[in-house]
Chain A
């Protein structure tokens, strides 16, 4: 809820006070490096990649320091071990024979310089989408386009959803996570835009929807609720042990495509696919 109106208030303030923006130099300390693990595994047919890296100083020209010599493996529900090996092409660790299934439990183990980082997750059951559509909204004289996904939220259980969006062939980027705290068991519409607000009337948009666990929701929710007005920004809480940054998730994913050039002005709400 708070998330809903704080951006609205900031938007309003910025509009009203025509605030100005300026690049500045800030002398930031260089902290000790930390290991970062990103393992967003899902049931889509593309290759599953686990990224292992280290933090770098803020002014470093590299975005991260890739760790290529880690020992990475997943232990599946029947104690079957899937080793992941480093691939230069993916800049991460891959295993082409690895598949996931709902309700199964997986354990991640990453060893870097003798330190072991571990996590265990159970893959949530996917919540199917009923219908999809496109939506246009005018907010303060600007036009925004959204993809909409409608579905029946299962009652009585907590459900968490994560959306990544790719606009016009650009790389997939995280858009938002949702929980059913306020709409458990209802017929729900999720309205999906892009973080860069770059969906236009001719855009082709790919939306990836994942049913995620509470821990993964928490990670992304903490990330998305950190804004410049936060009193104390912090690293999102990781579900990986031993102080690693990042997260381990196993999820059901579905991909939806939207062609906004087919968007019809007057039948805005739903164009079932």
Chain B
């Protein structure tokens, strides 16, 4: 049925292409970086005389229709020089533009360094874009530029624990963010138990975060979409760049394979904390392992002016081991094969075949324990997306995808004489298919909107044993299924985002979205661990559904030098998951009996003020929010605060250009402590003090605040092609002892007295990194 709707839509659009467009002509093409030939995402192509503009899609392509004539065309991108060209448009023209962020200029006339795409005019709300250049300027822990740490500084995005890459958007859970790397789903976005994100910023072109009004082309996670694009590789010349830091080193090589036709990019990173372990005299310690590495690679081949093929991949691994007795490794792998095709100047097509997986392996070999635990979650995804520019004032996106999701839960395989048994847990498989259509429609000069619809069908597939449970979670019936559909969930997800321009510099926006989620992560610790179990929707587990409404006010002033925005939102979440007390989540075929289902709500208001130009750049963000959950079996059925509920969350990010060679940066964060469960009494059992808990998340961790500083020094290059820079930083500059864990214990001297203590993880941590490029 879905296919039929889809093809009807296709033929409708192709037909109207012919009927429409008589004396209008189309200017289409790509916007590229003048130095590297990289395509630019979200660059603006504008006709000032007509007040018509278009922005490039995620492949750098744009298409815009105007009446035949000769026009001035301006092309701009954040932090780049805007260029202006005069173009004669008598018939359809395909043309690429190159823009530069360097001061020396080429033939076109430079107007000014431009700010980000005009947030006031775009109907999209709840969206934030960060470029790789910005990420590299923000001071972070250990001196490693980090996408996830940077987005945590934006309004509506909360951090997990100290130093964690885990993030929570508008009160949602950590597993409710769709993290895409070149369209591939990344399941576990962190290394070293969260202290580093899996994204090596050297390999990243740009990052888009959607927190509300999420466009119809995205689906599958109810709180946010973090869409990360990898660099394509320099089309014009070879380049090597890299950095040597205290924790990790990285290197990137890119360049043309066939000039202006094909290029590649390979980027790698590895930590070397484990090298210090080798210095130990203890044999167990010097044979231990503790490192991670990742590798990003991409290549593209331009078949002709209309067709390009991209192949990109990511592979990362963490390896932790103690002597030869214990080893634990985990990692993601993704691969994306894409074919871009300009079917005609008005219809852009992209076909993607995507694979991604996340695995972990544990090996224990001590005394007479000899066993391994292996778990894998993987998906194959086939996507077809079209963008149609054929109607005046409309840009229409439509497409379909089919995603096959497989979960092999941790199973245990023991050696012959081991003291444990092998345990196999049923593999679960689901097929999620979706079709969507959305239209960005400029209704009038002032009013524009993006409206869309996504239809998602999820099939829970056999084979396997499925159980029914009673109210206490005991299995009461079981049923065997063969290779067949066990259960089907069909959901319609409307999406809407619109803006009304009050005058040239300010606008109000409103949005609504419904999103359905079929993959759920089960975490019963405060930090998300690689061993966290994933489950898909099944007979007992209903899909998570979120409805979100938001309203916003946007204003640019001082000629777009400053941007101000405020958004208010309310999010309703259904079929949220928690656990019974003492739930057994590991190697449990009746895992679903351990789960509890409830609902959630979150609401808040966010403010963001950004300064984009001048020697001082940066932003101030403030979020006032609430996030709650309700489960009949928890907290006596009363609503309770979600762990990530934070009343106040403030970030200040400032970058100041001291001179041509010195740049200083500072980040300050302040937030209300996480909601947490503390005891409200004590008693004695087995001769020791025990704690008596009453209310779920009824307490707060102490307020968290921290200042990070950085200075970057770029000496004048001695040789023409070689440049380098030194980055010095201090994380937690005033050495604030933020509580990582608060726990309770008996006083050592008088065990009748009970005391609370905190553990702080990081004091002030200095860092130095040397970066080079040639």
Report which A residues bind B (CB closer than 8 A).
1-2, 4-6, 8-9, 12-13, 16-17, 19-26, 28-31, 33-34, 36, 38, 40, 51, 53-64, 135, 138-141, 164, 171-174, 181-189, 191, 218, 221-223, 225, 228-237, 245-246
Contact B419 A187 (CB under 8 A): yes
Q: Is the CB of A237 within 8 A of B582?
A: yes
Are B696 and A232 touching (Cβ within 8 A)? yes
- The smallest beta-carbon distance between B628 and chain A, in angstroms, is 14
Asked whether B419 lies within 8 Å of A19 as measured between CB atoms, the reply is: no
Question: Given A22-B760, A26-B742, is A58 in contact with B696 using a C-beta cutoff of 8 Å?
Answer: no
Q: Are B758 and A24 in contact (CB under 8 A)?
A: yes
Cβ–Cβ < 8 Å partners of A1 in chain B: 362, 373, 410, 412, 586-587
Interface string of B549-588 (1 = CB under 8 A from A): 0000000000000000000000000000010011001110
If A24-B757, A56-B682, A228-B741 touch, whether A63 touches B582 (CB-CB below 8 Å) is no
Q: Tell me the bound Cα distance from A184 to B691 in angstroms.
A: 33
**Are A6 and B529 interface neighbours, CB within 8 A?**
yes
Is B681 a contact of A55 with CB atoms below 8 Å? yes
What 10 pairs across the A-B complex have the smallest Cβ distances?
A222-B582, A31-B680, A55-B681, A64-B684, A228-B743, A228-B741, A31-B694, A36-B683, A55-B683, A182-B420
Residues of chain B within 8 A (CB-CB) of A19 are 740, 759-761
Q: Give complex CA distance A137, B734 in Å.
A: 41
Cβ–Cβ < 8 Å partners of B368 in chain A: 189
Query: Which A residues are CB-close (under 8 A) to B525?
Result: 6, 229-231
Additional A-B contact list (17), CB under 8 Å, known A5-B531, A13-B761, A229-B525: A9-B193, A25-B756, A31-B694, A51-B684, A60-B682, A61-B752, A63-B684, A140-B284, A182-B412, A186-B419, A186-B420, A188-B419, A189-B368, A191-B367, A225-B582, A231-B525, A245-B692
When the two chains form their complex, are residues A59 and B367 in contact, meaning their CB atoms are under 8 A apart? no
Closest partner residue, chain B, to A22 (CB atom): B758
Complex contact A183–B529 (CB within 8 A): no
A33–B382 alpha-carbon span in the complex (Å): 59
Chain A residues with CB under 8 A of B637: none
The residue in chain A whose Cβ has the minimal distance to the Cβ of B284 is: A138
Distance (Å) between the CB of B532 and the closest chain A CB?
9
Over the window 735-766 of chain B, the binary record of Cβ atoms lying under 8 Å from chain A Cβ atoms (1 yes, 0 no) is: 00101111110000001111111111111000
Q: How far apart sit A33 and B525, CA to CA, in the bound complex (Å)?
A: 28
Nearest chain-B residue to A246 (Cβ)?
B685
Within 8 Å of chain A (Cβ to Cβ): is B150?
no
Which of chain B's residues have a CB closer than 8 A to the CB of A186?
419-421
Whether B326 sits at the interface, judged by CB under 8 Å, is yes
Say whether, besides A29-B680, A63-B684, A237-B581, A231 and B759 are in contact (CB < 8 Å). Answer: no
Q: Is the CB of B679 within 8 A of A58?
A: yes
The minimal Cβ–Cβ distance linking A139 to chain B, given in whole angstroms, is 7
Does B512 reach chain A (CB closer than 8 Å)?
no
B residues near A184, Cβ cutoff 8 Å = 421
CB <8 Å contact, B681 and A230: no
Contact call B693/A234, Cβ cutoff below 8 A: yes
How far, in Å, is A200 (CB) from chain B's closest CB? 19
CB pair A222–B581 under 8 Å, yes or no, is yes
Q: In the docked arrangement, what's the CA distance between A260 and B681, Å?
A: 39
Q: Contacting B693 at CB < 8 Å: which of A30, A140, A233? A: A233
Q: Is B14 an interface residue (CB 8 A)?
A: no
* A235 and B423 alpha carbons, distance in the complex (Å): 30
Residues of B within 8 A of A34 (CB): 681, 683, 692
> Across the interface, do B527 and A28 meet the contact criterion of CB distance under 8 Å?
no
A234–B680 Cα gap in the complex (Å)? 11
A218 to B594, CA, bound (A): 13
Q: A183 contacts B419, CB within 8 Å?
A: yes
Tell whether, in the assembled complex, residue B756 and residue A231 are in contact, meaning their CB atoms are under 8 Å apart: no
Nearest-neighbour CB distance to chain B for A241, whole angstroms, equals 14
The answer on a CB contact under 8 Å between A172 and B756 is no
Structural contact, A173 and B687, CB atoms closer than 8 A: yes
With a CB–CB cut-off of 8 A, which chain B residues contact A56?
681-683
**What residues of A have a CB within 8 angstroms of the CB of B760 in the complex?**
19-20, 22
Q: Are B692 and A55 in contact (CB under 8 A)?
A: yes
Docked pose: A140 CA to B447 CA in angstroms: 66
CA of A138 to CA of B412, assembled, Å:
26
Give the interface of B toward A (CB within 8 A).
193, 273, 282, 284-285, 290, 320, 322, 326, 328, 362, 364, 367-368, 373, 410, 412, 419-421, 423, 523-527, 529, 531, 578, 581-582, 585-587, 643, 677-699, 702, 737, 739-744, 751-763
Contacts of A9 in B (CB 8 A): 193, 320, 529
Contact of B759 among A21, A61, A185, A232 (CB under 8 A): A21
How far apart are the CA atoms of A267 and B753 in the complex, in Å?
Answer: 44
Check if A138 sits within 8 Å of B282, measured CB to CB: yes
Q: Among A139, A191, A231, point to the contact of B284 (Cβ < 8 A).
A: A139
Complex: how many Å from CA A140 to CA B578? Answer: 36
Whether A221 pairs with B752 at a CB distance below 8 angstroms is no
B586: nearest residue on chain A (CB-CB)? A1
Closest A residue to B640 by beta carbon equals A232
A25→B756 CA distance, assembly (Å): 7
CB-defined contacts of B526 to chain A, threshold 8 Å:
229-231
Q: How far is the CA of A23 from the CA of B587 in the complex (A)?
A: 38
Would B681 and A234 count as touching, CB distance under 8 A? no
Q: Is the CB–CB distance between B285 and A140 below 8 Å?
A: yes
Contact A58 B680, beta carbon cutoff 8 Å:
yes
* Chain B residue at minimum C-beta to C-beta distance from A26: B756
Nearest CB in chain A: distance from B587 CB, A: 7
Please name all residues of chain A whose beta carbon is closer than 8 Å to the beta carbon of B698 when the two chains form the complex.
29
Instruction: Point out which of B373, B687, B737, B755 has the most chain A C-beta atoms below 10 A from its C-beta.
Output: B687
Q: What's the nearest-Cβ distance from chain A to residue B522, in Å?
A: 10
Smallest distance from the beta carbon of B560 to chain A beta carbons, Å? 44
How far does the Cβ of A187 sit from chain B's closest Cβ, in whole Å?
Answer: 7
Cross-chain pairs A/B with CB under 8 angstroms, 12 sampled: A19-B761, A23-B755, A24-B756, A28-B680, A33-B681, A63-B683, A63-B684, A138-B282, A172-B687, A174-B688, A233-B693, A237-B582
Report yes or no: B367 in contact with A189, Cβ–Cβ below 8 A: yes
Say whether A185 contacts B693, CB under 8 Å: no
In the assembled complex, which residues on chain A have CB atoms less than 8 Å from the CB atom of B419?
A: 183, 186-189
How distant is B546 from chain A, measured CB to nearest CB, in Å?
21
**B740, A8: Cβ atoms closer than 8 Å:** no
Task: Contacts A2-B531, A26-B756, A234-B693 given; indicate if A20 touches B682 (C-beta within 8 A).
Answer: no
**Could you tell me the distance between the alpha carbons of A73 and B669 in the complex, rounded to whole angstroms?**
59
Contact of A5 among B282, B328, B523, B687 (CB under 8 A): B328
Judging by beta carbons under 8 Å apart, are A235 and B693 in contact?
yes
Q: Are A53 and B683 in contact, with the CB atoms below 8 A? A: yes
Could you say which residues of chain A place their CB within 8 Å of the CB of B690?
223, 245
Closest B residue to A182 by beta carbon equals B420
CA distance A186 to B756 in the complex (A): 43
CA A222 – CA B687 in complex, angstroms?
A: 18
- Please tell me which one of the listed residues A21, A183, A225 contacts residue B421 in the complex, with CB atoms under 8 A apart: A183
Across the interface, which residues of B come within 8 angstroms of A57, CB to CB?
A: 681-682
Please tell me if the beta carbons of B742 and A24 are within 8 angstroms of each other in the complex.
yes
**Contacts known (A26-B742, A189-B419, A222-B581); A8 close to B326, Cβ less than 8 A:** yes
Closest to B755 in A: A23
Q: Please state if A232 and B697 are interface contacts (CB–CB under 8 Å).
A: yes
In the assembled complex, how far is the CB of residue B639 from the closest CB belonging to chain A, in whole angstroms? 15
Q: Which residues of A contact B326 (CB under 8 A)?
A: 5, 8
- Residues of A within 8 Å of B758, CB to CB, are 21-22, 24
Minimum Cβ distance to chain B for residue A210 (Å): 12
Note all chain A residues with C-beta closer than 8 A to B742: 24, 26, 228
What A residues does B692 contact at CB under 8 A? 31, 34, 55, 235, 245
A173 and B686 CA atoms in complex are apart in Å by 7
Assuming the contacts A55-B681, A182-B423, A236-B582, asked whether A8 and B322 have C-beta atoms less than 8 A apart, the reply is: yes
Q: A22-B757, A140-B285, A183-B420 are in contact. Are A28 and B678 (CB under 8 A)?
A: yes
Min CB distance A76 to B, Å, is 25
> Nearest-CB distance from B588 to chain A (Å)?
9
**B687 pairs with A62, CB closer than 8 A:** no
Check if A54 sits within 8 Å of B680, measured CB to CB. no
A236 to B328, CA, bound (A): 30
Chain A residues with Cβ below 8 Å from B695 are 29
